Structures are given as C-alpha cells and as structure tokens.
C-alpha cells in the first residue's frame, strides 16, 4: 500500500521555499505508523539542526530570475560562516584564479549567482551532518554519494527533461534525498544499525530493511525533515517517494532515481544501499530499460566527483 502521508501542494510547482501561510495549510497524515513510532520519528526530526536561514533566503531570492546579485551578496554577508567558506573555495586551487578574491560580491562576479547558490546549499547540508554516529553509518561516504547524486540529477535534467523541471531543483532533490538516513543514524541509532545489518545480511534494499526493522523508511523520515526545513511540497513528496515504485512519475523523481541508481552502480560514495544486479532501471519510460546503456549515456562523472570532493573537504573545515 502506498503510504497515506501526503503533503498538500502549494502552487506553483517549482521547487523552492514556500511562504509560511502556505505551509500552515499542510495536511499531513501518518496513518500507517503506530502512535509510538510517529512520536519517536517526530521527536527525531525535531532534534535535527535547523536549515540555515541564510540559505533558505538565497533559495527564495534565486527563484526569481530577475534576482539581483547584490541581494544574494547581502544575505551571504550576514552569515559569517558561509562567507568564510565561499571565500575559501573561490581562493582554493580548485578555481585557480589569478588573484585573491576578498569579498562575496567579487565571488558572485566570478562564479555567478547559480554557483553561489549551489555552494551555499552544499555547505548548509555538510554543516548539518554529524561528525560521527553510533549506528556505524559512514557520513563522509554518504556525503559523497549525495553530492554526486545531486550533480548527476542536475545533469540528467539538463539533458533529458529540459523545460519540465529546473535542473537546480533536481540538484537540491539529490542533495537532500537520503537525509532521512541521517535522522535515523543520529536519533534512532540502534534501530538503524539493525536495519543496515538486516539489509546487508539478507541482500534486500535498505529502505525495505528499514520498513521491516524500524517500521518506517528514510524516505518518509527525510520528507518530514524537508517539510520542517520548509522546502516545497514538490520536494517533500519527491523525497518521500524516491523508493516507492507506485509514486507518480515526474521529471524530478525520474532524474533523482536514475541519478541515485547510476551513482550506486558506479559505487561512488556509499549510502548503505549498494547497487544490486536484480534492480530494474528506475525510470524506463524516460531513460530506457538497459542499465549499461543508461550508465554509458550519463558518461563520465569525473567533474561531478571532483566538485563533490571539494565540497566535502571545505565543508568540514571549521
């Protein structure tokens, strides 16, 4: 049975933050969960850190194609941690600029608003991750998986879903899709440890092991977290459904699922759910049903992996 939980959608469908009045109308049902599990899950999601307000504001601003660079600069400059990280990246060997950049406004000139938006999103996600957890979940490899899925989903959207979805929205979906695992690793530690072991020992996908052991999968946990972080209903639904074969296909979920599959197939990073030869291609109508052909079509992920490594390195520095 498809879960009863459903976020009420807020128009328009474009992924981004929605205003508070829209969120107040959300009508969520967690009917499939026992009251005890609902309470535990709700408490775990509440204990997660807040999503940085500055980054929410940047996402909100950049939804408008007429957004002025100075508006984005003003928001970043209010966040000293983000400012330091952006300046560190732009002055790193990665960009190899001829002279040192000393201000956020110069950074925006060099990198453009879109890159600045993605940098701030990536740093926000990295900043929320715990350094370690008792569940035995490798957060650094998880981060590499998420960042490469994000970049791959954006690339797939650009190549195969142009005009249907904003590739930047697919990047956000990729970055956040498995965050429910972090909720579990942090606050349902013993149960998640058992689910990881169940999945490995029985050779079943992790989300199925989570349902069997915990009673809820990381899709729903991540969706509750994304809702708490006030992301759009479209993103919340996409995160909830990313392992549900009965979910309505959409450009965003197709790109996310195939990106996730290709990255697991290539064994880049690890989110506790390795590729299995028994898996059917996730979006056959859009991308075909030959996994090797899909992987070949996606091509080299070298640049995306390089970007991800840079994020992971700079993001964890204090």
* 178 touching Fe ion, by CB under 5 A: yes
Q: Which is nearer to Fe ion, 178 or 237 (CB)?
A: 178
Among the residue ranges 144-152, 174-182, 228-236, 302-310, the one whose residues contact Fe ion (CB under 5 A): 174-182
Minimum distance from CB of 175 to Fe ion (Å)? 12
Residues that bind Fe ion (rule: CB under 5 A) add up to a total of: 1
Integer Cα distance of 108 and 69 in angstroms: 7
Minimum distance from CB of 36 to Fe ion (Å)? 24
* 210 touching Fe ion, by CB under 5 A: no
Q: Which is nearer to Fe ion, 79 or 191 (CB)?
A: 191
CA of 103: how far to CAs of 36, 100, 124, 166, 313, in Å? Answer: 50, 10, 20, 29, 21
**DSSP state for residue 312 in the 8-state scheme:** H
**Contact set for Fe ion, span 80-99 (CB under 5 A):** none
Tell me which residue has its CB nearest to Fe ion. Answer: 178
Element (H, E) at 36: helix 35-47
Terminal C-alpha separation, the chain: 45
Among the residue ranges 30-38, 60-68, 175-183, 286-294, the one whose residues contact Fe ion (CB under 5 A): 175-183
- If you search the block for the tokens 């979920």, which residue do you land on? 253
- Cα angle for residues 214, 219, 223 (degrees, 5° grid): 115
Closest CA to 180 of 212, 150, 210: 210
- If you search the block for the tokens 């509440």, which residue do you land on? 46
Minimum distance from CB of 41 to Fe ion (Å)? 16
Integer Cα distance of 58 and 114 in angstroms: 10
**Contact set for Fe ion, span 270-299 (CB under 5 A):** none
Minimum distance from CB of 261 to Fe ion (Å)? 11
Q: Which is nearer to Fe ion, 181 or 286 (CB)?
A: 181
Integer Cα distance of 311 and 124 in angstroms: 11
Q: Which is nearer to Fe ion, 178 or 254 (CB)?
A: 178
- 83, 77 contact by CB (below 8 A): yes
Minimum distance from CB of 206 to Fe ion (Å)? 7
Q: Which is nearer to Fe ion, 73 or 223 (CB)?
A: 223
H helix intervals, 230-300: 233-241, 251-265, 284-287, 291-298
Q: Which is nearer to Fe ion, 157 or 206 (CB)?
A: 206
Q: Which is nearer to Fe ion, 178 or 307 (CB)?
A: 178
Among the residue ranges 14-22, 96-104, 173-181, 245-253, the one whose residues contact Fe ion (CB under 5 A): 173-181
Which residues are near Fe ion by CB under 5 A? 178
């Amino acid at each position: 049975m498809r879960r009863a939980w459903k976020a009420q959608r807020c128009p328009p469908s474009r992924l981004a933050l929605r205003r508070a009045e829209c969120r107040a109308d959300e009508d969520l049902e967690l009917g499939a969960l026992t009251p005890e599990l609902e309470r535990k899950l709700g408490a775990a999601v509440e204990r997660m850190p807040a999503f940085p307000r500055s980054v929410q504001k940047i996402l909100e601003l950049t939804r408008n194609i007429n957004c002025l660079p100075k508006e984005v600069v003003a928001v970043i400059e209010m966040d000293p941690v983000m400012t330091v990280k952006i300046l560190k990246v732009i002055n790193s060997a990665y960009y190899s600029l001829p002279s040192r950049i000393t201000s956020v406004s110069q950074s925006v000139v060099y990198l453009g608003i879109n890159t600045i938006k993605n940098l701030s999103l990536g740093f926000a996600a990295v900043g929320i991750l715990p350094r370690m957890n008792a569940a035995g979940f490798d957060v650094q490899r998880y981060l590499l998986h998420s960042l490469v899925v994000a970049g791959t989903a954006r690339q797939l959207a650009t190549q195969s879903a142009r005009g249907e979805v904003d590739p930047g929205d697919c990047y956000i979906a990729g970055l956040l899709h498995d965050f429910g695992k972090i909720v579990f690793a942090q606050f349902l530690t013993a149960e998640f440890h058992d689910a990881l072991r169940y999945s490995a020992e029985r050779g079943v996908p992790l989300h199925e092991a989570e349902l069997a052991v915990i009673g809820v999968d990381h899709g729903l946990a991540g969706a509750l977290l994304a809702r708490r972080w006030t992301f759009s209903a479209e993103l919340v639904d996409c995160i909830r459904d990313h392992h549900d074969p009965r979910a309505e296909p959409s450009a965003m979920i197709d790109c996310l699922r195939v990106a996730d599959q290709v990255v697991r197939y290539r064994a880049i990073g690890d989110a506790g759910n390795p590729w299995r030869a028994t898996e059917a291609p996730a979006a056959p109508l859009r991308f075909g049903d030959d996994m090797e052909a899909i992987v070949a079509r996606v091509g080299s992920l070298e640049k995306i992996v390089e970007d991800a490594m840079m994020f992971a390195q700079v993001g964890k520095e204090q």
